[in-house]
């Protein structure tokens, strides 16, 4: 039986991976400070250690308790806008704590490390899908904090033989098709749950930031990848590390505009989404779509590639859990 440590395993993407690992019979320890994660997102029978990565004694105790076959690292602050108001907080919480975690892996002989990274590393103009070889130019402290971890992992591999997977995903979306897990951010910042809540009357009219972009309908286009497909990519990546380190961009390879998301929610729910156009936000790119050929060549194939499929799982979760894990 394999044993894994999942930091941030009570969060949105991390919890879906933990559930997938548990289904496969793995022994899992979740390390999460529950600042944005939820205790009820951790499946029954999974060990949850509530602690912060900055707590060196708690981290040492977690590593001393088990030899781990791999560490999956999700724990991080993740709001781009907030990171521009509090850059040092993000660099400390994400980069410094991530590097401490890598150091703990090296000292305790953990040979594999899978990082939840981000498309916020890129600053690419135009509408072409973004490959892993695109120039790295983070435009936020959040993106730069992830890039610092990626660079630390490179040194961990070069000097200590640590095999690493940097998974740069675009817009995680959707919910567990079985209805066990879903999205519950407080406050919510992701588009699809915001659109769903507007349709359900749980929030005021949705604000659409600009309708004058050089896209088919004037609104921003993003690549929405289902959270369960992301979990599958992590499972594949940790196996692939037997052959060496990898860096993958993860997306469906097809973008959808804000208006297309609104239309999809209306189609799935049978409700009307109230929205209003407001000025653009600084820094929003017109189009961000992933080129995921590397992951696909390794065997990854998104199952929930259709936007309506992504939206339907998110809507089903929100209908049953209007208050998220608070229900």
Q: In whole angstroms, how far apart are CA 217 and each of 191, 210, 211, 280? A: 17, 11, 7, 15
Q: For residue 239, count CB atoms less than 10 angstroms from its CB and return exposed for 0-12, middle for 13-18, buried for 19 or more.
A: middle
Q: Are 238 and 166 in contact (CB under 8 A)?
A: no
CA distance 74 to 90: 14
CA distance 259 to 237: 33
CA distance 288 to 315: 24
Catalytic residue among 12, 68, 90, 142: 142
Does the annotation count 142 as an active-site position?
yes
Q: Where are the alpha helices (H) located in 66-216, listed in sequence order?
A: 80-85, 87-90, 97-107, 141-160, 191-199
Q: In whole angstroms, how far apart are CA 65 and each of 47, 58, 68, 71? A: 12, 11, 9, 14
Q: Report, as residue numbers or ranges, the catalytic residues.
A: 142
């Amino acid at each position: 039986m394999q044993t894994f440590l999942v930091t941030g395993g009570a969060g949105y993407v991390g919890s879906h991976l933990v559930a997938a690992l548990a289904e496969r019979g793995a022994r899992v320890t979740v390390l999460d400070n529950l600042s944005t994660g939820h205790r009820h997102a951790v499946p029954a029978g999974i060990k949850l250690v509530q602690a912060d990565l900055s707590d060196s004694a708690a981290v040492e105790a977690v590593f001393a308790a088990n030899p781990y076959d791999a560490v999956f690292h999700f724990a991080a602050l993740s709001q781009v806008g907030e990171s521009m108001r509090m850059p040092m907080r993000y660099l400390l919480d994400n980069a410094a704590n991530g590097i401490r975690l890598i150091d703990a892996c090296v000292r305790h002989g953990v040979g594999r490390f899978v990082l939840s990274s981000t498309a916020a590393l890129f600053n690419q103009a135009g509408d072409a899908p973004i490959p892993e070889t695109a120039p790295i130019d983070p435009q936020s402290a959040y993106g730069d904090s992830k890039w610092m971890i990626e660079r630390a992992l490179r040194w961990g591999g070069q000097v200590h033989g640590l095999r690493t997977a940097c998974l740069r995903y675009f817009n995680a979306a959707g919910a567990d098709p079985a209805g066990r897990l879903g999205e519950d951010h407080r406050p919510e910042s992701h588009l699809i749950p915001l659109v769903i809540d507007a349709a359900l009357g749980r929030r005021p009219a949705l604000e659409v930031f600009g309708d004058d972009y050089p896209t088919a309908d004037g609104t921003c286009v993003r690549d929405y990848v289902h959270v369960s497909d992301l979990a599958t990519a992590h499972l594949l990546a940790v196996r692939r590390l037997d052959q060496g380190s990898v860096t993958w961009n993860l997306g469906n390879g097809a973008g959808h505009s804000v208006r297309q998301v609104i239309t999809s929610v209306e189609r799935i729910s049978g409700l009307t989404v109230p929205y209003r156009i407001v000025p653009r936000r600084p820094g929003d790119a017109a189009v961000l779509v992933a080129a995921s050929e590397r992951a696909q060549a390794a065997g990854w194939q998104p199952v929930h590639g259709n936007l309506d499929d992504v939206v339907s799982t998110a809507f089903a979760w929100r209908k049953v859990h209007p208050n998220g894990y608070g229900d």
